């Protein structure tokens, strides 16, 4: 019997806001402007399901960018992610017009409570018949802290210590209802077996949570876990908990090393490396001809503004660059305090400077520009060639971000996906009804995570 060819996972990287993660996208002539309406997100959802995407997931931040200049004025004036809707509400608007597309949302382990997150995502998973994922983040800056009554954001490794315990509580609550606990019988008046519904009674360093959770298990067991940590501590967290890792590959060679490191980490955590999908972020600019694609690329690149990068990098690193000389190097102490350690390390590596300046951070990170991550540009065949090379050596799929909405995804569905399907690299139809099933992941039973997480 022939083995089924390995196929890539495709995930759309969405924002519930006025632009995609490329801030200049709202300035694109073809980008739609009804991003405060359900129709905007439902239009995207239908396109993605037509293209047989595995999933769409929403990034999220819990504050308007206001670190640059200690003010939100430029953010609002120039539309630098000035609007940010609550993502699970938007997710459900998309669920209403789809039946197979997986849907993920970001929720923070630093500013929410485990019981709330466990109940919310378990309910979403039931209401979508097993199509939901939770993107686990620890948040990143003092603006978010201020919105939740804190003076400053937690230190990096402490956030991950809290996140590990947060996951233990959430997963424990998802174990509350054992398989087969419910057997409602109107004649006998018995609803479920109380011996198969358990309290958690968790008491730890950060949390106390009793339970039982009031939501039974879904068709896929529990929501798929996404994670994007790239620092050493973040990678350890991913190795223990993640089922899909949203990666950042500056180059293919770097990606090969990251991919192997992630797989090795999962194995060392006692898990099957094949149970983890690694998907690097990618921008695709595709057209009917190479020249048309290059013209589009030039237009898209021209949409960025200096304020985009300065605002976004300040938000990401929790540093106000506004009053600092552009070429003044950061001290070792200042660099040690940077919130996003993997981005700091990337800037040090790319710039070749142990103590980079604001200029180095802006140029090496590419934040706010088209150069923030790899761009595959060309015809459908040319883009598919590049994707195939990466897929065969460094990843299990891709997280695709948009430079215009919904145009980017419409172009991918029209020109790239048919080429991938022709090569046997991507499905022609959904094979399963759940997100986990379409990703080729086994359905976990209650308590399975305890046998590998330590």
Residues in binding site? 60, 106, 156, 160, 231
Q: Dihedrals φ, ψ of 224, to 5°?
A: -70, 140
Q: d(Cα 242, Cα 246) in Å, to the nearest integer?
A: 10
Residues 119-133 as b/e (b if ≥16 CB within 10 A, e otherwise) read bbbbebbeebbbbbb
Angle at 362 between CA 342 and CA 365, to 5 degrees: 35
Annotated binding site for FMN: 60, 106, 156, 160, 231
Q: State the DSSP string of 382-451.
A: HHHHHHHHHHHHT-SEEEEE-SSTTHHHHHIIIIIHHHHHHTTSS-SS---SSHHHHTTPPPPPTTGGGG
Close Cβ partners of 189 (under 8 Å, ≥ 6 residues apart): none
- Asked whether 443 and 24 are in contact (CB, 8 A), the reply is no
- If we measure between CA atoms, which residue out of 176, 156, 150, 166 comes closest to residue 207? 166
- Asked whether 113 and 119 are in contact (CB, 8 A), the reply is no
- Asked whether 92 and 121 are in contact (CB, 8 A), the reply is no
Phi-psi region of 318 (alpha: psi -120 to 50; beta: other; left: phi over 0): left
- Asked whether 137 and 108 are in contact (CB, 8 A), the reply is yes
Per-residue CA distances from 437 to 101, 155, 263, 452 (Å): 11, 37, 21, 21
Q: Please count the other Cβ atoms lying within 10 Å of the Cβ belonging to residue 206.
A: 14
Residues facing 9 on adjacent strands: 397
């Amino acid at each position: 019997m022939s083995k089924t060819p390995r196929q890539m996972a495709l995930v759309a990287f969405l924002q519930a806001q006025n632009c995609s993660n490329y801030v200049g996208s709202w300035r694109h002539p073809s980008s739609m402007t009804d991003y405060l309406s359900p129709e905007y997100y439902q239009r995207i959802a239908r396109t993605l399901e037509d293209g047989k995407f595995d999933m769409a997931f929403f990034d999220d931040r819990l504050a308007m960018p206001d670190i640059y200049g200690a003010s939100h004025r430029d953010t609002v004036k120039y539309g630098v992610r000035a609007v940010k809707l609550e993502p699970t509400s938007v997710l459900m608007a998309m669920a209403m017009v789809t039946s197979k597309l997986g849907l993920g949302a970001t929720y923070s382990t630093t500013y929410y409570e485990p019981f709330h997150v466990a109940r919310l995502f378990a309910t979403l998973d039931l209401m979508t018949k097993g199509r939901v994922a939770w993107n686990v983040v620890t948040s990143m800056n003092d603006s978010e802290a201020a919105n939740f009554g804190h003076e400053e954001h937690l230190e990096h490794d402490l956030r991950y210590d809290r996140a590990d315990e947060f996951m233990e509580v959430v997963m424990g609550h998802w174990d509350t209802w054992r398989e087969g606990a419910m057997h409602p019988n109107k004649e006998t008046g018995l609803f479920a077996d109380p011996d198969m519904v358990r309290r958690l009674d968790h008491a730890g360093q950060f949390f106390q949570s009793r339970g039982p959770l009031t939501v039974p298990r879904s068709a896929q067991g529990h929501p798929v876990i996404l994670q994007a940590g790239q620092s050493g501590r973040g990678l350890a967290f991913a190795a223990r908990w993640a089922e899909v890792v949203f990666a950042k590959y500056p180059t293919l060679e770097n990606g090969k090393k990251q991919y192997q490191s992630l797989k090795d980490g999962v194995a060392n955590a006692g898990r099957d490396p094949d149970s983890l999908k690694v998907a690097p972020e990618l921008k695709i600019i595709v057209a009917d001809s190479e020249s048309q694609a290059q013209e589009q690329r030039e237009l898209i690149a021209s949409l960025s503004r200096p304020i985009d990068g300065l605002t976004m990098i300040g938000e990401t690193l929790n540093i106000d660059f506004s009053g600092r000389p552009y070429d003044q190097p950061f001290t070792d102490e200042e660099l040690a305090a940077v919130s996003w350690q993997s981005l700091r390390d990337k800037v040090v590596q790319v710039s070749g400077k142990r103590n980079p300046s604001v200029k180095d951070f802006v140029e090496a990170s590419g934040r706010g520009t088209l150069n923030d991550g790899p761009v595959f540009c060309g015809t459908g065949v040319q883009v598919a060639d590049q994707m195939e090379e990466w897929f065969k050596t460094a990843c299990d799929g891709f997280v695709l971000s948009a430079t215009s909405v919904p145009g980017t995804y419409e172009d991918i569905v029209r020109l790239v996906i048919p080429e991938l399907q022709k090569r046997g690299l991507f499905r022609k139809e959904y094979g399963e009804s759940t997100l986990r099933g379409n990703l080729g992941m086994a359905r976990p039973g209650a308590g399975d995570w305890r046998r590998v997480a330590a």
